[in-house]
Every structure is written in C-alpha cells, then in structure tokens.
Chain A
Amino acid sequence: MGLLSGTSKFIKALTYPSDMLPPIMADDEHQHVDPELEHAASKFGMWLFLATEVLLFGGLFAAYAIYRAKYPDMFHHGSSSLNVVLGSINTIILIFSSFTVVVAVKAIQENKIKLVKLMLWITIACGAIFGINKFFEYSYKIHHGITPGTDIFYSLYYAATGIHMLHVLIGMGLLSFLLYRTSKGYYSKDNFTAIEIGGLYWHLVDVIWIYLFPLLYLIG
C-alpha cells in the first residue's frame, strides 16, 4: 500500500461523512441505530466531553483560587494592568457568538439553510475578532516585557487565556467544517446533530470566558 494512498485514506477517514466512506470503512453503517437514539447519544457524548473540558480548565481555576488567596496584592496589581475595555468587548463578542450559534442550531431544524450559513459565518467571525483582540493584548504586554514567567498572576493570565484561545481556534475550525458541510447540502432538519453538538462546544468556550473575564480583569 503506497504511502500516498494510505495518507489519502487517512484524510478521508477523518473528514468524510460515514456513508461516503470507501467500502473498507463502511463497517459503521452495519449498526442500524435509530436516528433519534443516535441524536440523543451524540448529545450525551458531547456533554461528557464538555465535562472533561470543565475539569481541564478547572485545574487552572484551582491554581487561581490558591494563589489569589496567597498573593492578593500581586493579583490586584496584575489585574489592574489588564485592559478592561478589550476584555469587555471580547466578552460581549463571545456572548453574541453564543447567540448566533444557537440561532444556527434552531435554523437547521427548520431547514433554513441560508440562515444557518449566515449565523455560522458570524460566529466564526466573532471568534476571529476575539483572537485579534487577544493578539493585540499579548503583543502589547510582551512589548512591555510582561511574559508568562514574570510572576504567578501573569503565568495564570497567559496560561488560562492562552489555552482558552486555543479552544476558540479549535471551535472556529469545527464550525468552519460544519459550515463547509452545510454549504454542500449535508445537513437538514432530519440530520443536524453535528451542528447542535458543535454549538455545544462553542457555548463551553463562551462559559469558560464568562468566568475568566471577571477573575482576571475585574478584580483589580
């Protein structure tokens, strides 16, 4: 088996919807799972995955709680150096993007494909703007010599917002993939689970930020 054909098979496996897979991978349609069961199971599965994300960020929140109690002045000082305006704008942007993505989920259930695409586009754009803001924030700080190693507050700031930003990027990737499939006509009111669970992931990204924002920016 050539390396090239093997690689292309691999990529196909990752991106093709199940019923378009080459025969060798068609095993997964052997199980005729009732679509409603599949839908409920996929949602349940995504909630379990979100539980893991909560615990992942949980470690950071735990470190925050411990060190904030230990070094209130360091945290007060560090927080007051953060740009509340940019942080607030980012919060508004993410909340708005949660709104647009849940509208997309409702829209696909009504076969309103154009609305779905518009909403997904806006959500992704919101993520991009969030990212650009964070880029400016980080550059400004690094330019002034404030790095992750400067002190524990900034370690937390960079680690928490950095890992969060990574999840924003992953979310944007997911939603872009869903947007692509939507434009190929793959989803409808009878097949929209992926959009719903993609939306769930995006909401989690929003929820994490809802906590990060006051804890990092507003306690100064």
Chain B
Amino acid sequence: MASEGSYRQYVNIGILLMALTVITVGAAQFDFGPFNVPIALIIASIKATFVALYFMHLKHEDTMTRIYAAYPLFLLFLLIAFTATDIFTRVSN
C-alpha cells in the first residue's frame, strides 16, 4: 500500500484524459478516410491505458495481475480476427 500516486498526479491524469476527449471529438469532425476508425481507436486506447496504469494502479501491480489484465485483450483479438476471417473470405457461388 505504498504511495501509488499523489492527488496532484490524479488531477494531471484527469486533465489529460479530458484533453484527449476534446481531441477525439475534434478529430471526428475531419474525414481521414480509412484512418477514421484507427485514429479513434488509438486515442481511446491511450485514454484507457492511462486509466488502467494510473487510476487503476496497474503500474504498481505485480506481473501476474498484469498478465491477467492483458490476456483478455489478446483473446478478444482472436475472436475478432478469426470470425472476421471467416466472414470476409467467404466466396459466394
């Protein structure tokens, strides 16, 4: 239960998250073509990472916890990748 962050740090991260929200809404006003979704996802992932590392204290957690925190993302990737491979490589006669 050592110091896992100061109030100041939490305020800073909070402001950062708000800023990123503004950025993502702003970015949505422009059309980047096929990059629209990746950009939105990247910004969202940056926000999520900050919440996980600093608000959820993942930065200070042990390895096992971090493995179990990350592994579901891999499984999710598998679910989407294989399912999409099926649906988008079907050949209709």
Contacts and interface: CB of A to CB of B under 8 A. Distances in A.
Given A58-B79, A109-B1, A51 B72 contact: yes
Interface band, chain B: 35 or more
Given A51-B68, A61-B76, A207-B52, A69 B84 contact: yes
A103 B21 CA distance: 21
Q: Say what secondary structure dominates the interface of chain B.
A: helix
Contacts of A50: 69
Contact of A51 (B18, B47, B56, B69): B69
Q: Say what secondary structure dominates the interface of chain A.
A: helix
Given A106-B4, A207-B48, A219-B28, 15 more contacts: A44-B64, A44-B65, A55-B76, A66-B80, A68-B37, A91-B21, A95-B21, A102-B5, A102-B55, A103-B7, A106-B6, A109-B1, A206-B51, A210-B44, A214-B28
18 contacts: A40-B62, A43-B65, A44-B64, A58-B72, A98-B14, A98-B55, A99-B13, A102-B55, A103-B7, A106-B10, A199-B56, A203-B52, A211-B48, A214-B24, A215-B37, A218-B24, A219-B40, A220-B28
